[in-house]
Amino acid sequence: MQENFEVKGMAPCPSPISDECIIAHRVYGKCRQQDCLRPFDSTVLTPPPGAIEISSSRLGEVGTIGGSVIVGGPITPGEIIAFNSTVSTVRIVPGSFRVSDIRVTVNPSAFGQDGFYDVTIVYTFTYLINLLDATGTSIPVTLTVTGETPTAITNICAFTTYTKTLCLFGGEASEQTITTANTLYSPQTANVNFGNLPYALVQAIANPLQQPIIGVYENAPGTIEYHADVVIGLFTIIKLYRIVNMTVSSTGDCDIPECEPITGDPCEFFNSLPFPFEDFDPPTTL
């Protein structure tokens, strides 16, 4: 006997539809971009088709690095990592590459277009690199942090930044400054939105497209130095949204099923898996 008293073959009565007021993030403008980011000496080379110029790898350590392969004395945090011809190849340590930071600035359109906003996005990519000699051996450098004993390291923390600018529709709204307080989080804070600007949401997926290239650069007339040039593929989605009150049609609260417990018996878990026929048979098209 069915516990829910439903008659087999008959659908349950639908819940009545009602209008509900909700607080929502309404998207006004959105775009996506697929960028190939590549360092190159634009004063010497012609930019490759479809490539966007970025700088060579910069030092992301908290201290300076030096050593026999380093060019120009100790390299300070944020400076480009420059080395001599002793370095034969550069390698990114597997699993170390990530988008570590995204900073966004939204301002009214410089051309005065109503409802449009200039968006500036700064992406930061961090990773570890090894400087390798002709035999493929990592060349150590000396890391010096104020107040600590200098140490030899082979995994060098490096980073690259990319600044993107674009214009998106963000909705026409009053330019009055709006102050918002929300008790959802503690401690309670007030957010002051000067000029009633839209909010920005930026998502990014990025990966190095190959192992770093050793770029040749002329630091001074007749002086050659080498950089680690990382080619990066970036997928990004940018949205401008506002917090709005909306009326939506609703049939009631969401149905929430019971949680499935995790069994401690590996055989019970294995026996519950479907047989992987597709792994044994090659794909076919009918």
Site of tokens 């990530």: 98
pLDDT at 4 over 50: no
* 141-144, strands of its sheet edge to edge: 64-66, 141-144, 151-153
Query: What pLDDT is recorded for position 11?
Result: 56
Q: Which of 8-22, 132-146, 169-183, 229-243 has the lowest mean pLDDT?
A: 8-22
The mean pLDDT of 21-42, rounded to a whole number, is 89
Q: Tokens 């380093």: give the residue.
A: 70
- Reported pTM: 0.81
Other beta carbons within 10 Å of 27: 15
Cα–Cα distance for residue pair 171/173, rounded to 1 Å: 6
Determine how many CB atoms are found less than 10 A away from the CB of residue 74.
Answer: 16
- pLDDT for 48-104, tens place per residue? 777 888 999 999 999 999 999 999 889 999 999 999 999 999 999 999 999 999 999
What amino acid occupies position 170? G
Q: Residue 281 carries which side chain, given as an amino acid letter? A: D
CB distance 133 to 139 below 8 Å? yes
Q: Do 65 and 141 form a contact (C-beta atoms < 8 A)? A: yes
Q: What pLDDT does 3 receive?
A: 46
Chain centroid to Cα 159, Å, comes to 13
73 or 226: whose pLDDT is higher?
Answer: 226
Convert the pLDDT of each residue in 141-190 to its tens digit.
Answer: 999 999 999 999 999 999 999 999 999 999 988 888 888 888 887 777 78
Residue ranges covered by each domain of the chain: 27-175+200-239
Give the pLDDT score at 263. 64
55: three-class secondary structure by DSSP: coil
Under DSSP, the state recorded for 180 is: E
Decide: helix, strand or coil at residue 199. Answer: strand
What gap in Å lies between CA 55 and CA 159, rounded to an integer? 10
**What mean pLDDT comes out for the span 35-53?**
78
Tens digits of residue pLDDT in 239-276: 999 999 999 898 888 887 766 666 677 787 788 788 88
Instruction: Report the C-alpha gap between 219 and 54 in whole angstroms.
Output: 17
pLDDT digits (tens, 9 = 90+) for 186-214: 777 788 888 889 999 999 999 999 999 99
Q: In this structure, what token pair is assigned to residue 255?
A: 């149905």
Cα-based distances in Å from 75 to 31, 39, 40, 150: 38, 19, 20, 14
d(C-alpha 41, C-alpha 213), whole Å = 13
